[in-house]
Amino acid sequence: MSKMCECVEKKIREEVREIMKPYKQEKDNLIQILNEIQEKYGYIPKAAQMEVSEYLGVPMAEIYGVITFYARFTLEPKGKYNVSVCLGTACFVKGSQAILDRLKERLKLEEGKTSEDGKFSIDTTRCVGACGIAPVFTVNDEVYGHATVKKLDEVLDELEKNEK
Amino acid sequence: MKTIEELNKIRAEKRIELDLRKNTNADTREKHILVCQGTGCTSSKSPQILENFKKIIEEKGIQNVRVIKTGCFGLCAKGPIVIIRPEDTFYAMVTPDDCEEIIQSHIVEGKVVERLLCKDIDGTKVTKLDDLTFYKKQKRIALKNCGVINPEDIDEYIAFDGYRALARVLVEMNSDEVIETIEKSGLRGRGGAGFPTGKKWRATRDAKGDKKYVVCNADEGDPGAFMDRSILEGDPHAVLEAMEIAGYAVGAEKGYIYVRAEYPIAVHRLQIAIDQAREYGILGKNIFGTNFSFDIEIRLGAGAFVCGEETALLESIEGRRGQPRVKPPYPAQSGLWGCPTLINNVETYANIAQIILKGADWYSSIGTATSKGTKVFALGGNVNNVGLVEVPMGTTLREIVFDIGGGIPNGREFKAAQTGGPSGGCIPKEHLDTPIDYESLKEIGSMMGSGGLIVMDDTKCMVCLAKFYLQFTVSESCGKCTPCRIGTKRMLEILERLCSGEGEEYDIYRLEKLAANIKKASICGLGQSAPNPVISTMKYFREEFRQHAIEKECKAMECKALSRIEIDEDQCKACGLCQRNCPVNAIEGEGREKRHINQDKCIKCMTCIRSCPFHAIG
């Protein structure tokens, strides 16, 4: 993780304090709070972890343990376009692996990683619940159903064009 | 705060207003346009459809027509779905642009829009929902309100007997009578293992402790399963009501719903339901003026499959890593913060109010000798009618796949069905006529599980499928106990070897031995059942494993290293369609030349096979 300048760190700490206000200083609120932080920043910055640690009285090591345990929490920011391929069984049976393989090949990225320019990141999910239109991939919140390798290519072409 | 009398008044008034939802002969001039807002349809623009209808009705100044958002109708393959009541017209695959025509033709001129009607399995167009083969063999208990009511309006829930069971329990029954009714009904846990629900309630009630808790397990992590989500999205009050009844029976005043954060719509609707119930005084202190108080809080999960295991779930509610506890003590004795805790699954709760209202005898008359009632399945994979189905226990797999599911698409053959997700197993063709209940599924090497039912056609490689489930287990293993953490990883490595052509015959025995050890030595139910997908595929498709190991061949052509895609020159008509569709330009040849595949470039995505009109590629 790149080092953060002090003012950014200060701002994050303030914002996180605001997020935590409705929560009592009880340990069992940890996951609820982390969920909100993840939602806001797209990852859990170290400054935020420190603030949570002080507020709840939970050691940093334990917070790190919780973050790395749950798939929804990430330590790295996601790309501007987070492309996520569903690997639920219904999608798998309909060929989502080929879509993921193609995505990794095209963006030259591994699962869970973000491109250096911060534009793209690759994710996998276990069932977004759209099994009726499997296989499915999503770009941020947009769901693309009945996906094929070709459709993925077209969507990526479009996104890359927008970025030029 | 509402009294029971006030509740009855709301029910009586609202019921007349909503008669047209269930009665096709309702005497009314009103029409209700129901638009599915489940996750499946929402992904295909159904919120926009809802908005468009509202806008058009307002612009045209049409009277007596209401647009209602509902939960899932079940037939997700044909979504987005719009139903018009009271006539029960079923429109499939509607787009936002179709709204104008539906309003003009159906509502204004009274003419059904033929082109949007749904085709049944035999190809005939069907006008009414109830006439579709998909719905005919179903029996809806847990899903009875899904697709009928607006899940964000408590009055609509009350209209269809909502909170009547709670009122009856609080006024007329003591906790013993409630528990006896549940025991007598024969209801068993719908989360997977099938533990008798009444027994669980009794154990929690009898446990010593001042404070007790009721928990709803809505951490539906089984990939390809979406029953619980649909219930929460379509009928959230049913879960709240049942948790309150459970709270009364076991002596708890506080409930938690642990739900996946990946289900934003379900979480949103649950929160609305809780707020509305609090406002009516149905949740909170002294409910209906009795001594009973109960409140419910939502706790979000954060994407860990193991949290579906009850003790891991408790750990997670307490804010820690979701690692299972060693049992005993069971949660009924020592659960949340060491207090006796009752944990049931969403679908289990969705049956409770019905059992109280209609009686244990009614419920136990449905199903088989050991498994009572109905079960909801999320039907998916290579089957025509992907969606949500609820059938009486004892229905055969053949009926679900071929009658309700409409069979296998593209003229392919049925190869296997998978139930129980990563803890379950595969059911091959020869067991298609097994009646589905807890015992018979176990006997043939699978399990009921939470209700995911994935159908596979003959293009699927069973070794790949086993690998897929092991990948899942390896990434979701919590790491607490060694057999699961390391054992499943070793099993996955062997399966990867087999799929990449580096396997050997002895690998099959290695897999069997590891599977047996993991089953025996893991701490929690998930570890103990993790090898199941491998064991059952090896049992029924051993020949396929052998082909991978010895002949280095994958007949289904899914394992890339073991398969080559080639174009049959005799059948190729040089149309070039495959070439235009190939995403990596691996197909060579120009003009009238026969095409061939450059194996170095081919990524075996099989797009060409699907695009060839002459079936020349294979």
For B494-538, what is each residue's pLDDT tens digit? 999 999 999 999 999 999 999 999 999 999 999 999 999 999 999
CB B269 within 8 A of CB B238: no
- Among the candidates A20, A39, A69, a domain finishes at A69
Distance CA B401, CA B408 (A): 8
Tell me the shortest Cα–Cα distance from B167 to chain A, in angstroms: 33
**Alpha carbons B357 and B466: distance in angstroms, whole number:** 44
Does residue B219 form part of some domain?
yes
Q: Is residue B8 part of a domain?
A: no
Percent of chain B whose pLDDT exceeds 90: 81
Pairing status of strand B65-70 against strand B89-91? unpaired
Residue A156's CATH number = 3.40.30.10
Residues B306 and B184 in one domain: yes
**Mutation target among A40, A110, A111, A131 for the B interface, most CBs of B within 10 A:** A131
- SS3 letters across B100-164: HHHHHHHHHCCCCCHHHEEECCCCCEECEHHHCHHHHCCCCCCCCCCCCCCCCCHHHHHHCCCCH
Q: Does residue A64 belong to any structural domain of this protein?
A: yes
Residues in A touching B418 (Cβ below 8 Å): 89
pLDDT over 70 percentage in chain B: 100
**Cβ contacts of B410 on chain A, cutoff 8 Å:** none
Residue B533 domain flag = yes
The SS3 call for residue B605 is: coil
Distance from the Cα of A28 to chain B's closest Cα (Å) equals 4
CB < 8 Å to A66, chain B: 319-321
| Beta-carbon separation of A129 and B261 below 8 A | no
Residue B487 has pLDDT above 90, yes or no: yes
Same domain (yes/no): B317, B244 = yes
Within 8 A of B607 by CB-CB distance, chain A residues are 148-150
- Write down which residue in B364, B383, B405 finishes a domain: B364
Q: Within this chain, do residues B499 and B571 fall inside the same structural domain, yes or no? A: no
Final residue belonging to a domain, choices A47, A69, A91: A69
Q: Is B390 helix (H, G, I), strand (E, B) or coil?
A: strand
Place of tokens 């069907």: B126
Q: What separation, in Å, do the N-terminal and C-terminal C-alpha atoms of chain A show?
A: 27
Q: Do A70 and B303 touch (CB under 8 A)?
A: yes
Q: Where are the beta strands (DSSP E) in chain A?
A: 81-86, 120-125, 137-139, 142-144
A44 min Cα distance to partner chain B (Å)? 13
Residues A95 and A62 reside in one and the same domain? no
A100 and A156: one domain?
A: yes
B263 to A133: CB separation less than 8 angstroms, yes or no = no
Q: According to the model, what pLDDT value does residue A140 have?
A: 87
Residue B316 inside a domain? The answer is: yes
Residues B99 and B203 in one domain: no
What six digits make up the tokens of B333? 């004795």
State which H helix or E strand residue B180 sits in.
helix B175-185
Count of the separate structural domains present in chain A: 2
A1 part of a folded domain:
no
Residues B489, B448: one domain? no
The torsion region of residue B447 among left (phi > 0), alpha (psi -120 to 50) and beta comes to: beta
Give mean pLDDT, residues B59-84: 93
Query: Over the stretch B545-565, which tens digit does the pLDDT of each residue have?
Result: 999 999 999 988 888 888 888
Asked whether the beta carbons of residue A89 and residue B603 sit closer than 8 angstroms, the reply is no
Residue A138: domain span: 81-163
A28 and B302: CB-CB below 8 Å?
A: no
Q: Which residues of A touch B263 (CB under 8 A)?
A: 129
Q: What is the pLDDT of residues A29-63, one digit of tens each?
A: 999 999 999 999 989 999 999 999 999 999 999 99
Cα-to-chain-centroid distance, residue A63 = 18
Domain boundary among A14, A46, A69: A69
Domain-ending residue, one of B337, B364, B391: B364
pLDDT score for B16? 92
Q: Are residues A136 and A110 in the same domain?
A: yes
The answer to whether the CB of A48 falls within 8 A of the CB of A80 is no
Hey, is A121 helix, strand or coil? strand
Quote the number of domains for chain B.
Answer: 5
Q: Are residues B185 and B45 in the same domain?
A: no
Q: ∠ at Cα B598 (B593, B602), nearest 5°?
A: 125
User: For residue B65, what are the β-bridge partners?
Assistant: B31
pLDDT band at A128 (very low <50, low <70, confident <90, very high): confident
B224 closest CB neighbour out of A27, A70, A89:
A89
**pLDDT-based confidence at residue A3 (cuts at 50, 70, 90):** low
Shared-domain flag, residues A112 and A38: no
**Closest CB to B76 among A65, A131, A148:** A131
Q: Which of A30-39, B89-98, B509-518, B591-600 has the lowest mean pLDDT?
A: B591-600
Q: What is the pLDDT of residues B563-577, one digit of tens each?
A: 888 899 899 999 999
Q: In sequence order, which residues have a C-beta less than 8 Å from that of residue B302 and are 6 or more positions away?
A: A31, A34, A35, A38, A70, A71, A72, A73, B261, B316
Asked whether the beta carbons of residue B302 and residue A105 sit closer than 8 angstroms, the reply is no
Tell me the Cα Rg of chain B.
26
- Are B257 and B357 members of one domain? yes
pLDDT of A21 > 90? The answer is yes
Q: How many contacts does A have with B, using Cβ atoms within 8 A?
A: 150
Please enumerate in sequence order all residues whose Cβ is within 8 A of that of B327, keeping only pairs 6 or more positions apart, or say none.
B311
Nearest CA-CA distance, residue B41 and chain A, Å? 8
Nearest to A102 among B226, B386, B605 (CB): B605
Both A103 and A152 in a single domain? yes
Strand-pair category, B125-126 with B118-119? antiparallel
The answer to whether residue B157 sits within a structural domain is no
* Mean pLDDT, range A125-129, rounded to an integer: 79
Domain span including residue B615: 564-618
**C-alpha separations of B376 from B50, B57, B144, B304, B358 in Å:** 27, 36, 11, 23, 19
Cβ distance B321 to A69 less than 8 Å, yes or no, reads yes
Q: Are residues B468 and B398 in the same domain?
A: no
The CATH number covering residue B419 comes to: 3.10.20.600
- Region B451-464 average pLDDT: 93
Q: Is A133 within 8 Å of B40 when comparing Cβ atoms?
A: yes
Unique residue bearing structure tokens 């209401």? B66
- Mean of per-residue pLDDT scores for chain B: 94
Asked whether the predicted pLDDT for residue A1 surpasses 80, the reply is: no
- Residue A101 domain-assigned (yes or no): yes
pLDDT(B353) > 80: yes
| pLDDT the model gives residue B301 | 92
pLDDT digits (tens, 9 = 90+) for B281-338: 999 999 999 999 999 999 999 989 999 999 999 999 999 999 999 999 999 999 999 9
CB–CB of B393/B371 below 8 Å? yes
Contact A35 B261 (CB under 8 A): yes
Residue B257 lies in a domain: yes
Quick one: A110 and A157 in the same domain?
yes
Say if residue A130 is in the same domain as residue A65: no
Asked whether residue A75 is assigned to any structural domain, the reply reads: no
Residues A95, A60, single domain; the answer is: no
Evaluate whether residue A131 is within a structural domain.
yes
Tell me: pLDDT of B584 over 90.
no
Is A88 within a domain? yes
Phi/psi of residue B204, nearest 5 degrees: -70, -40
For CA atoms B536, B537, B540, B543, the dihedral sign is negative
Task: Indicate if B280 and B404 belong to the same structural domain.
Answer: no
DSSP state of A4: P
- Mean pLDDT, chain A, as a whole number? 91
- Identify the CA nearest to B332 among candidates B249, B218, B422: B249
> Measured between CA atoms, how close is B303 to chain A, in angstroms?
5
- Identify whether residues A90 and A154 lie together within a single domain: yes
CATH number, domain of B473, equals 1.20.1440.230
Cα separation, A106 vs A98, whole angstroms: 12
Please compute the mean of the pLDDT values over residues B112-126 and round it to a whole number: 91
**Does residue A74 lie within any of the structural domains?**
no
Same domain, B389 and B282: no
Domain match, B488 and B578 both: no
Question: Last residue of some domain: B430, B457, B484?
Answer: B457
pLDDT (tens digit per residue) in B14-55: 999 999 998 888 888 899 999 999 988 988 899 999 999 999
Strands across the sheet with B452-457, in order? B387-392, B374-381, B452-457, B414-419, B425-428
The answer to whether the Cβ–Cβ distance between B302 and A31 falls below 8 Å is yes
A46 with A119, same domain?
Answer: no
Per-residue pLDDT tens digits for A69-115: 999 999 989 899 999 999 888 899 888 999 999 999 999 999 989 99
The region of weakest confidence among B369-383, B534-548, B585-599 is B585-599
Q: What per-residue string of b and e applies to A40-73 under the rule 16 or more CB within 10 Å gives b?
A: ebbbbbebbbbbbbebbebeeebbeebbebbbbb
What single-letter amino acid sits at B420?
A: G
Contact B302 A101 (CB under 8 A): no
B167 & B252 share domain: yes
Instruction: Indicate yes or no: CB of A31 within 8 angstroms of CB of B319.
Output: yes
Same-domain status, A100 and A143: yes
Report the alpha-carbon angle B290-B294-B297, nearest 5: 160
What tokens does B579 get? Answer: 């070439």
Please tell me the predicted confidence (pLDDT) of residue A131: 83
A65 and A99 together in one domain: no
| B238, amino acid identity | A
Q: Which of B43, B224, B321 sits opposite A65 (nearest CB)?
A: B321
| pLDDT of amino acid B615 | 87
B129-181 pLDDT, tens digit per residue, is: 888 999 999 999 999 999 999 999 999 999 999 999 999 999 999 999 999 99
